[in-house]
Amino acid sequence: MNKLSVIFFALCFGCFFVSAQNSVVMQNAESEMAALQDSMFQAVSDNERFNANERFIEKLENCLEMQNSFRYDFALLDRISILTSKDKRFKIFTWAIVSSEGEFFNYGFVQAENEASGEYEVYKLMARNDDIYSPQEQKLSDTCWFGAVYYELITTKHENITYYTLLGWDGKDIYSRRKVIEPVTFKHNSGRPSFGAPVFYKQKGIRRMIFEYAPDVAFNLIYDNQFFELGGVKKAKKRPGRKNRAFEVEDKKIERTWVILYDELESKSDGVVGFSQLNVPSGKVEGLSFERGKWRKIENLVPRNEKKKNEVDNGNYDFGKEKKLY
């Protein structure tokens, strides 16, 4: 065996040994974090919950900093959300702890590839929800994050550019809840995340969509491959010899595509506006489809369930598919 072969073998063995050693460390840490979850979410006192949470954060951060940790699935951490982009560019870990006064505190980490170095970097997310003025319009970061527990990570592409969009839930407080559509980008030659982007068609200045509603109602926000009904749209038609135009209504048609579906909100008290804690679903559904690098609103949307054999389509949408962590 020549000298180069010996060096190559030694390097391979060393990498294998480090990887195996890290795997054992992560398994032990995962077991400890799994036990901490019970205290984080079920302990009676705030001190117990938040102290357990601090220990959980420390252990998780240490694990994510280890070599090859991106491949580890953390299957025992079933009380927090762990989402991975389809292209394996990044993972995002999020969860929320509720206080005895009913206020929710959001926590998270992003583990993302630095495309320049090929290494994965770890960023602790610092929620600043109450300090962000006009959060729909702000470009935010890991150190100033509109905190939410994410339950869906959407990966889309246009002209060789990959777009990432998160759907999330913010428990907020006893007065209202929030859900958010959150675009995510990454700084050039870095794994550092940037939250919020102008990808909403004809919505000037909007970088994320936030829906706030009464705490005692169910508000649905999902991403689904759905049949939906388009139609009833007025289309201008010139009338011979006249300056004004007549309008005809297009025939309805059924299409299918991947869409973000959400409930339209309205105040449950007639004549009272501006109080988000009074917002409830109106019974109508709105949607966004991704086209040419933008999320575009679908007008006159009537979502439909996929028909089963010999089943009559009644036009009602079953929101039961939504992944509900809380």
pLDDT, one tens digit per residue, over 143-193 is 999 999 999 999 999 998 899 999 999 999 999 999 999 999 998 888 999
Is the Cα dihedral 218, 178, 123, 89 positive or negative? Answer: positive
Indicate the pLDDT class of residue 83, thresholds 50, 70 and 90: very high
Residue 266: pLDDT band by 50, 70, 90 thresholds? very high
- Integer Cα distance of 144 and 102 in angstroms: 23
**pLDDT score, position 245:** 53
Residues 6+ away with beta carbon under 8 Å from 184: 92, 164, 165, 166, 193, 194, 195, 197
Least confident residue range of 4-13, 30-39, 240-249: 4-13
Q: Residue 318: which pLDDT band, with cuts at 50, 70 and 90?
A: very low
Q: What is the mean pLDDT of the chain?
A: 83
Alpha-carbon distance values, 199 to 74, 137, 163 (Å): 32, 12, 9
Query: Which one has a higher pLDDT value, 228 or 261?
Result: 261
Annotate 174-196 with DSSP letters as a single string.
SS-EEEEEEEEEE-TTS--EEE-
User: pLDDT per residue over 109-149, tens digit each?
Assistant: 999 999 888 899 999 999 999 999 999 999 999 999 999 99
Q: List the Cα angle 170/175/176 in 5-degree steps.
A: 35
pLDDT for 48 beyond 70: yes
Amino acid at position 262, single letter: Y
Instruction: Write out the H or E segment, with its range, that includes residue 58.
Output: helix 46-64
Q: Quick one: 253 exposed, middle or buried, by C-beta within 10 A (0-12, 13-18, 19+)?
A: exposed
Q: How far is Cα 94 from Cα 74, in angstroms, rounded to an integer?
A: 13
pLDDT on residue 25: 84
